[in-house]
A and B are shown apart, each in its own frame.
Chain A
Amino acid sequence: MNNPKKLIVSHAPFIHIGSSIPQMSLHIILAALPAVILGGMFRFGASAVAVVSFSIATAMLWEIAINLVSKKPVSVGDGNAAVIGLIFAMLLPATAPWWFVLTGTFIAIVIGKQIFGGMGSNPFNPVALAIAILMISWGDFLDFDEMYRHFQFDFIPTYPLTAVKHFGLDAIEPVRLMDLLLGRQIGGIGATFGIGLILGGVYLMIRGFIRWEISLSFLGGVFITALIFNIIDPSRFASPFFHLLTGYTLVAAFFLAPEDSSSPVNFIPMLIYGAVGGMMTILIRNIGAYVDGAILSILLINLLNPLLDKIRPKTLGKVA
């Protein structure tokens, strides 16, 4: 019998943080809750509750359905489907229709994850893949200006990234960094409350549930690239702090980029992976066609992951 405390050693690289998958899922959910509850549910009430609850439930249901169809053991108990459902909901507007959520969780669980063999085998982040496909198929439902047009806010009621992209820096002149940190901006249910996301991310990094190398290098990539643009033309490009606290940046840094299956495991590759992701996010935002580049940059670095993992320490010893 396998001793559960015994680590079976295969070839390098490997890492074990001494925690089980259900535990990891639970801690990721806990880390996301401040941003979801304080940033989304308090502001949008039952609408946000509907999207988040329905997303978690349907993600779990799709997981069970695909397990049954493929005649594999039901894997919903590891909590990964619930995590995917929650993170997916964090990126949606609180007014997302039910069919949009249902389709998105299908894409994330079935196409993004289970088709490749389930947890640990997916080459792309399932949530990023789902959002990207939805963005291309029904982009209007991810247009926060349009989705929140019936709501009255006590702050600027336009999506900061759309405003700066189309109308320049004058449009975001009244936006204060503290507003962004406190969630006084429109955006995804769990993507607006900067302080909540930072606290959640720091907690996950300290506990070792995500790799700090990836998250910090992603944020560093965002900051440095945005700073370069800002130095080159400060009348056209927003400050790096603005880019750090708007759009999907923080969710991408703490909840999307460090996803185990689609990210590298060695130190240098992790730094490159994160930095390229951050850099691409700003390139797409500042000179690309899309308002927010975070999702597409995550998919791009997922694509680079197998190549980056080739950069690894030389194996010890030699084959006889």
Chain B
Amino acid sequence: MGVVSPKTHHFSEPLSLVCGKTIEQYDIVYETYGTLNANADNAVLVCHALSADHHAAGYHSNQDKKPGWWDLFIGPGKPIDTNRFFVVSPCNLGHCSGSTGPKSINPASNKAYGPEFPIVTVVDWVNYQARLAGVLGIDQWAAVAGGSLGGMQAMQWAIQFPDNVRHAIVIAAAPKLSAQNIAFNAVARQAIMSDPDFHQGRYYDHDTVPASGLKVARMLGHITYLSDDAMGDKFGRDLKNQQLNYDYGVEFEVESYLRYQGESFVNRFDANTYLLMTKALDYFDPAEKEGGDLSEVFRKVSAKFFLASFTTDWRFSPKRSKEIVKALTDAGRDVSYLEFESNHGHDAFLVQHADYISAFSTYMQNIEVTS
């Protein structure tokens, strides 16, 4: 994609949220790749997961070491081929990379929102994304795509705006969180909220951040993104300094790796946003309104679905994707489901994998757009 730069749109029309509150005005940062065609029928919305943001492809400068989070999948000749598609990748409301979120200044108080920032859900995200589509002149997405929490947004789009999505690309997702998933999120939140520097979410006013809590939350999360095999292959029981010290320092390579992951996360992520994102995950349950019957929900959907899962993903295992597939086939919807061998666990949806890439590409190539 080369060098890309984000844009910001200020929305001054209030957005009513599922939690009952309203956000009066907000900014959304987004990136676009490719060109919208004259009929505006080649737009693909890419939705990010918990910790990623609008920077999905390309580089922000020539000095950047890493490209956007889905760069392997977005670009000329890649599965979401920017020679054909116009890709829109927004940073979700409540996030900390430029869109309005807990660390943004609340115009009503001139202070950071902090805990005052209302809880936003996947339904709310789809609502602001629909407004962003309007701003960009897009009436109907050729596809909405994402992995994990991003896949949940793709699913929610097909449910919430059945006439405005032709294809939903749902990768490594789940129809709702399991008790175990929620439990992991609960521990992550506890780690943050019990940090003495948390100050009930008002840490900005104290010029500090709950760094150790956020670090632990990220370390925990990271374990759930990797598979036992991947961790075993990468670290095994390797030691940092060749010998055991019989103390509580960092001895095993895996400990060192997790600490590094946790520390680098603290430098780029806001703890209140982490709380909010995990809540958005916990609350996601599109079947709730139909008494838990997801197939009933899908009866009203017109999008065609492409689902994929990965064998060693234990956070959202293939079994969870199959629940979505079953609901779609029961409802008689068009769906293709693929299961890929990978030892990368949940993170596999972000990783190079020849079969995954060629299947994803093949599906996308069959999406009709006017040239």
Genuine A/B complex: no
Q: Which residues of A contact B (CB under 8 A)?
A: none
Report which B residues bind A (CB closer than 8 A).
Answer: none
